[in-house]
Structure 1
């Protein structure tokens, strides 16, 4: 029997259960009861034995936000009550509860003392015992460290994903590596790698209490466990192999003989089917690995028990004895299959237990502990017969009163903790245990919420059940409509509204109607009260895709109509005081796929929306996978394959023509390579978040994404991931390690901490698309449930957990009970439906359709079908909705149209808005960073270097070597590495090993020998006009960067200077017209000193011909001018000139110290010029360039 709760007279002692249905003022009730406990209020049999302080009253809930809200609400209530008792509070609307409380304290002196008590309690709320369950367990263990064996030095581990991954990899190495065949083959059928282990053991690793550590290694028991079923399987294969040929001959003769003599059905046992079945049996017998033959169904048709079923209207043939053997064979195989199923389960159990044990050791070694560990440890101590009673007594003394909020979300372990302290069944008059929740809203089973714990507590508190009877959230009309539907289901369905009732037993989860407090404002359309509950029923049966599309379109069209209607809004005293706005509307869905359907329909009508899901991890998003590919390219920009993948990512939205240009045009490719090299340097210097923000700006990602329906969502995910990676980089060294971290986080995408949950992409007043799980605890004026008829078939749990008398779990692997699983699925869906239906303040819209075929996952078997009585009455959808409409005048049924228009929403102008402020700050709009690649981009193709036939020359690997950007970039990277470590290392074994690895990664694995030979020749080739080779140089600097400012410099001026000073009169393509305003930067391949002079060397892998003779002086000059390398040389010389002038000061003489630029054409190293073109420093040119780039001094003046 459940009593409607009177907060003024609820007995505040013993154990009591309060059911707080949706919107019934649970937080207000908690604050009211808290206030009474502070005052010690109540008549004989109602009050607590003594007044309490905030530190005496333990209040537990499930989120930090909820604890903060409770603290503030209770503090505010205490302060208001104190003013009431002093007589200084005179509200416009009297507070009946406080008025009654005041009336119970008529004596002025008593009131004054009560006011003082309340004020002290309000001031002490910062020290109140209001905690999340996790935080309270942690606090309790630390306060009772000696009794619980806790270590003061332990640190809190908020996310154990990384450590669990380490434990999984340790299992892979320590348990699976040592296995021999056939045990290894069997394990690899289950676990292809560490990721698969994590996936297959996830459910087992979450068991509470955890599985005990395995007593032996996998290699110690698995081979023996496999031996018996494998021997039996081998025997069966041998037996069948001995009989197969004779059976095949008999059966083939039957099906291929005269039709009159063949009794078999030609459709189900044709010659082709028989042939395939026999071949499958033969193959199965000949091979050792398959357990079950292929074409199993067809093979079974050949057995003695099945063959007669496939005969035509003729008597079955006299069967071959081997047909009987097949019957025995298939029975034996079924038994063996069950043995292997159990064995596979034992392997999974062993893996989960080993991983948990290893994880515990890793945490112990690092002095870390998770919130789950705190709960398990406290539960273990409290349950211990020796230590538990003493600790429980101390906790009851410290917290004589406990209020457990959201009790329906309690796990079995958490309930065990509460019960071991307060013993709900004892109803102790010296303590108070209030269990407050709503089992109809228990929807977090995936987080460990255990509704069976709630139902157990309900049984233990029999006779002490209370309910909050008034709904303060929803309108009279909506409460009336929902009461009518649920009451009909509760009375008419033998299982009750929530499918928990059983014949002859008390319903543990009944529906109790609630009263409506109502709203002052009324939802109205066209001057009339609008329907509270609207069903859209499809007139025809639909498949799931059509159902989603039609209902999404109907909901979006309805929303457009409501927002466009000036007479749709909230009225008071008959007049609309506020028009409907987009922020008043929520569309509730089950998952992101449903969210995508409705958001697409909204987008087509120019309606903006935001999406919020409580369950989805940002690491499970598409953006996480794209960001991983992007970071791989930025971490190693010289890897051409990764760079191409990054440039083709949907985030960038590059057209195919641009991607093709990167492949065909070397200059365009080098420009992209330069960008990624810059990003790589920025990552290493400033961090991953700075690099990501720069990428988003540089490639226009934000502007492009925000034009798409899901653009805000995608951009939010991208920025969220950047922040998480920036946080992770504090403890992870280097880009490569951070890339691995992201890869692992994506692999474990379902493992989430609060920081990983998808964020709301906008807080603007937009339509909200919200998952039902995320909507729990929230309310919205209008709610649409367009896809409420969808459902998913239940999957039976493959194992059963049996707990020993000591509480230790044991796993039994068996075929799951699909019926029980389906019932549990329906019960949870019914609770989810209740949460969805009770979010609205004024009105609901629901979309329904009957399934087109029996297997379509809509309506049949859904929660809404159960609630409307579909299975109970076997009526069609139209009849069900007609019956439903008769239950209440507040329920309206409309037909879902076959064709739904697309009406565009036009946002109304609001002239009352202030004009946007003008941005008056001054900044350089055209400021940017330029480089040589930027200057020569879109340069006309070089006509001097047409494709040449590849004629292999003996002893000339540089002429046979692959052409193109990849090969050139690869050679450049190897020479850069040699320069950084010393060119003399060219012959060392370590370099050769590194070169082999680099060639393989670059797709040049077949060219290792040629690469090594070519690099040897490059390093030892004399550099004209010097007599020294690269290996002779001692003072070198690789990849020297330079930056200098430019103020509105025109490329035409640079072009003119180069044409005047370097090879004057020679033909060359004109530079594209550009204005360089900002910074000029570049990176010089090699700067070196020789004989007191400083040189710049730049490697060129251009193909000028297929023979050494093709690399003559004119060819080198033409190639240089054709690609405008002389401009590159001028910029490099200016940078070197400025550096030497700054470093050497008055000692600097450019005519003495500047050696010029050497362009080393690597494929011409045995040509007439040894592949080197030398451009001496031109001091007049440097003077002019100094002026152009804003340096007033002359080059000829030190």
Structure 2
């Protein structure tokens, strides 16, 4: 905390404040308007907002560290080390979406040798005297280096699109394989690419000690590469008249390409006008180039590994918030409207609270519920450890501990109706499997679909790709298998009549995909085996529990009929084919 005096003194003794030990005691009780206190408050706010680039920039350039090290230090080795460390931390924090607590834990692992930076270049310690007359290097390799004069160039055109993209969601990594997967998550991919471009540009711009030379294209032609963010900023500064400041010098150059005469034919010109000789098509109908193209693309396109969220984003590109599911990320849906009055303090909304509840349940030993009331259960060491770990990980205030424990205890011990006369006296009593992964082929025309008998090996030839996901909770009861998903949505009410339209609007696709995953895992290929072994699905809206709720509040149960399941598979097959053909069979 920025106002803890012991922590303040520790901070003041670092190079970022430069207070000497001999006078440190005089800084023990600084007034709230002291510049040092204001600086700590500002840095704390930036860290809390996870604005690490701005935080590290202020730590370097607004703390006085640079002039102190350059003019008062023996050499610039320590300054180089600090710059290098902050660059490594900025890279790992941006790439992995770390919270401040997680970033500090990562720094501890680096210091203790339990981890090393992920990229080979970031692990290189730079020497301050590694100077040549002219050095040409990538931005990555310039990390930790400085030079009196730095010229930045390149990045005007987009690079080659990688068929495999990685995005980061809630501290995890998600792999996007192929164009369709990338298109479905285009906003997230573009946002992370822009953040990476800005991070690298920041590294490049801070290499210069005296003079920095950068290009500025004041043109109607848009820059499509990584340099566009900086060029936009320079354009805004130019229009505001800021480039006329004494700190800037603008030199116009003629960057037009040389004119080519009509006689300067190139190999690409010749190729564009070439046609194969007619004899190649004698005795056969000339194939349609478009047909050939589509067929080749379909044959050689990479496999897709997609999921509920990606398919939902593809189906509804205008949706601002994706629903909660274990294979992608945990967030709350709906407006943060307080539920009806309850006997406990209302748990705040937000994606971190939802992830906290999910992970606490995942770590709980269900045997601890048996024969124990709430107070005996929460006193169990394993229960205390599970909640303490999840609260630390997601930075949940300790005042919500009792409320969250009551929610989880009631959600897992309350009797639940399973359709008809079936019921279970609490999910904690079931034979269960948590975070179960499924993977099954995207249905294709030549696949033996459900209800069509057994498949031979050739029948399952996979050309389109796979659907992958994680189910929060799978359990067996009375010889039937069920799957359940924890939801932390903030809703006005949680009665079954209120949940029905909410689930239909936000979770129908998830219900279909996960049910198909369960059916495939259980090997159910006909109606008789389906009726005998599959029990249904449950959405448990956790915020309905722990207070004065009615017996059925917060629980949405459904068991689709066998014809409905066949319809799920057919809709997925037809819908995905249509999307693929519309995109030119591109994935």
The interval holding the TM-score normalised by the smaller chain is 0.3 to 0.5
Q: Which structure shows the higher helix fraction?
A: 1
TM-score norm. by structure 2 comes to: 0.45
Q: Which of these two proteins has the greater Rg computed from alpha carbons?
A: 1
